[in-house]
């Protein structure tokens, strides 16, 4: 298989069965998935299956949303190196954060679609995150515009059909950034890593369902709304309501289901 320069996809020869017969062999694009090990100040923390692109963003976002650091300035450097087994991303963080990490060190083996593998205790799952401060009103039209714009920028998904996307938009619905990955949590971490400390709180739109951890990561990044193409989970709904996060599911075209914060959504004008 031949890989893209940025590692996001590979080319493989495939044969398709159509209309009762084989078609000639052709080259097809397949989403790249590889083990990515995250190390913080030499401490092995997590190994995730991820698309090996935007790995600096991934490491920064993961450190922030997992609570390993409190602010982007506590991340001093990120370096990725290839190994025969996968990619090791070495992250240098503030000494005080590394000391705290050693005290709470855990073994976590991540899989696509599973963001909590290896968590050792319930408090590690239910990490405290701040509620949305001074929640703004948001126009439904802004949410619909952001979701539509993100779909147009899912280039890797169009090539492979196998990736999720996460996008960040302003409160007015202007899309600022999109990241893609085979894992929905990874895509959101990459987005947060790419934008943390550089933009105002905004709207997060994702091409997946809205799990509890997706809500938790959105809150950890300080954003005010999470809009998903599919449904949320019960724990995601409860956490969003408790933390004043607007949560929408089934955002498709100009329709949506609101699970938390409906009173802060301005109706779309037909």
Active site residues: 114
Q: Quick check: 118 and 101 in contact, CB under 8 A?
A: no
DSSP 3-state percent helix, strand, coil across the chain (nearest 5):
30, 35, 35
Q: What angle do CA 30, 34, 36 make, to 5 degrees?
A: 145
Judged by phi (left if over 0) then psi (alpha if -120 to 50, else beta), residue 197 lies in left
> 3-state DSSP call for residue 258?
strand
From 3, 61, 57, select the one nearest 217 (Cα to Cα): 61
């Amino acid at each position: 298989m031949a890989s893209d320069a940025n590692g996001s996809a590979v080319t493989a020869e495939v044969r398709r069965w159509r209309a009762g017969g084989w078609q000639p062999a052709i080259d097809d694009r397949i989403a790249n998935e590889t083990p990515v090990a995250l190390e913080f100040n030499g401490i092995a923390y997590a190994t995730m299956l991820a698309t090996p692109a935007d790995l600096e963003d991934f490491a920064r976002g993961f450190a922030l949303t997992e609570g390993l650091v409190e602010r982007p300035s506590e991340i001093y450097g990120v370096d990725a190196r290839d190994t025969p087994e996968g990619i090791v991303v070495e992250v240098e963080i503030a000494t005080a954060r590394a000391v705290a990490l050693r005290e709470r060190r855990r073994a976590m083996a991540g899989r696509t679609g599973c963001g909590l593998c290896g968590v050792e205790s319930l408090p590690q799952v239910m990490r405290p995150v701040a509620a949305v401060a001074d929640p703004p009103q948001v126009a439904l039209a802004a949410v619909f515009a952001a979701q539509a714009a993100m779909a147009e920028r899912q280039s890797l998904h169009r090539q492979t059909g196998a990736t999720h996307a996460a996008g960040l938009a302003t409160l007015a619905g202007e899309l600022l950034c999109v990241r893609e990955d085979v894992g929905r949590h990874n895509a959101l971490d990459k987005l947060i890593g790419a934008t943390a400390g550089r933009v105002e709180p905004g709207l997060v739109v994702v091409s997946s369902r809205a799990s509890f951890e997706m809500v938790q990561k959105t809150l950890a990044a300080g954003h005010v709304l999470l809009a998903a193409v599919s449904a949320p989970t019960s724990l995601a709904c409860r956490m969003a309501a408790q933390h004043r996060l607007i949560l929408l599911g089934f955002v498709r075209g100009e329709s949506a289901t609101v699970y938390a914060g409906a009173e802060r959504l301005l109706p779309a004008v037909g």
